[in-house]
Amino acid sequence: MANTILVGAQWGDEGKGKIIDYLTDGADVVVRSQGGNNAGHTIVHGQKKFVLHLIPSGILRRGKTCVIANGVVVDPVALVGEIHGLAERGIKVGKNLLLSDCAHLVMPWHRLLDEQRELRKGKNKIGTTKRGIGPAYGDKAARTGLRVGDLLDDKLFAEKLKRRLEENNAVLKSLGAKPIAYRPVLASYLAAARELRPFVTNTVVWLHDAMARGKNLLFEGAQGTYLDLDHGTYPFVTSSNTTAGGACTGSGVPPHRMDNVIGVMKAYTTRVGEGPFPTEDEAVGSMLHGMGREFGATTGRARRCGWFDAVATRYAAMINGIDELAITNLDGLDAVPTIRVCTAYKLGSKTLLYPPTDTADWARCRPVYAEFPGWMKPTSGARKFSELPPAARRYVRALAELTGAKLHIVSVGAAHNETIRL
Ligand code: IMP
Ligand code: MG
């Protein structure tokens, strides 16, 4: 296996955690390069279900190294909690985890500002995960952020924290929120720092060294293409580059060392949070929620659901340079007699094959649908492509063709073995 970037080709929650876990067999190192603990990657291992937020999904496998690279924003207290949670369930985190000293810290004021900004937006809210992600990346861009490396010197950290807290408390007060007390934050961050110190390193040098030793890297994208800060449905996006380029800036591994981009997409579409979603369909949502599916792994929110949107995935293939596709959750459509796929948008009298860049225009687009006969049979027992019902095979082939990439993996259930490789 070569160096592979895995990205979500829709609005996140495409089932990336499961596909990463599946592909980890052929990788030595799994790298997170953007986002923070807004992510929720669900992996079913044997009888156990794990939800990871910050730690790359490779952590469940022996002999794999997991890297939280420079582009991630890290809430150190949440990261320590995640490490403890894994330990309690028998997963040892030690030399198999590395944390970049350049990764920015999510601070308590980021979470409060996230909440305040959402409150003030009222009905125009983004629907964030309230993990402080936007304000943390905001500080990074404004050059006022604190980084993991700052945690390593208690005295300097205490001074920097004091200064940052003064400014942010003034902002919080002006918004009518309660200011944050200095001492408890200092204590909890220094306690987390003590636990995280053994993992902290220059991950750029480490990754280049690993490549020199012939190791294969797997870049685990978080969120999805249309939550990308530049290419998504702005402002209804997250604050990092969730698309393939983000893996390079977020890790210090240059573009020419990347060999392959895999796009993960559901056999239908979901989205959590506000923003345009032309193929949204309440009946699809009630069906999937009725099956106990499509509730958020991080916030527990019911996800908005709709038909597969090939206009969106076609553009995602372009932005990310997707070579191969992993189509997940095919089994979610097992009981649908007629399945719709959006092949184009209508915006007024215009027919669009790619989404409009203006978010308000995108919200006005009407889907043009093609219809596919359903297979009305369970698919989760299939292990080979030939074992899928013919109508299911035709359906996934059509999704790949409409998106314009090669079909590589079809997932028919959450478990590791419920996977078909083509
Ligand atoms: P934030 O990343 O918490 O600022 O949230 C911004 C938008 O991205 C909201 O619509 C969230 O629901 C969405 N979002 C953030 N992380 C994820 C994720 O891991 N999966 C799906 N949606 C996400
Ligand atoms: Mg998720």
Q: Are strands 73-74 and 104-105 parallel, antiparallel or unpaired?
A: parallel
Please give the model's pTM, rounded to 2 decimal places.
Answer: 0.96
Mutational test site, ligand 1, from 227, 234, 301, max ligand atoms within 8 Å of CB: 227
Whether residue 41 lies in the annotated active site: yes
Closest listed residue to residue 151, CA positions, set 112, 93, 87, 101? 101
Query: Is the C-beta atom of 250 inside 6 A of ligand 1?
Result: no
Query: Is the C-beta atom of 306 inside 6 A of ligand 1?
Result: no
Position in ligand 1 atom list of the atom nearest CA 39 = 19
Query: Is the C-beta atom of 232 inside 6 A of ligand 1?
Result: no
Listed in sequence order, the residues at least 6 apart from 388 whose beta carbon sits closer than 8 Å to its beta carbon are 330, 375, 379, 382, 396, 410, 412, 420
Q: Given this model, what pLDDT does residue 113 score?
A: 97
Query: Is the C-beta atom of 126 inside 6 A of ligand 1?
Result: yes
Low-confidence ranges of the chain (pLDDT < 70): 1
CA 106, 118, 181, 300 dihedral sign is negative
Q: Given this model, what pLDDT does residue 28 score?
A: 97
Among the listed residues 21, 28, 41, 104, the single catalytic one is 41
Q: Given this model, what pLDDT does residue 297 score?
A: 84
- How far apart (Å, rounded) are the C-alpha atoms in residues 178 and 175? 9
| Tokens describing residue 350 | 């215009």
CA of 301 from ligand 2 middle (Å) equals: 11
Distances (CA, A) of 372 to 310, 340, 385, 395: 14, 6, 18, 7
Residue with tokens 């990657």: 41
Among the listed residues 13, 139, 228, 309, the single catalytic one is 13
| Tokens describing residue 212 | 């020199």
Position in ligand 1 atom list of the atom nearest CA 227 = 8
Q: Given this model, what pLDDT does residue 216 score?
A: 97
| Angle between helix 390-403 and helix 310-320 axes, rounded to 10 deg | 50
Q: If phi over 0 gives left and psi between -120 and 50 gives alpha, with beta otherwise, what is residue 377? A: beta
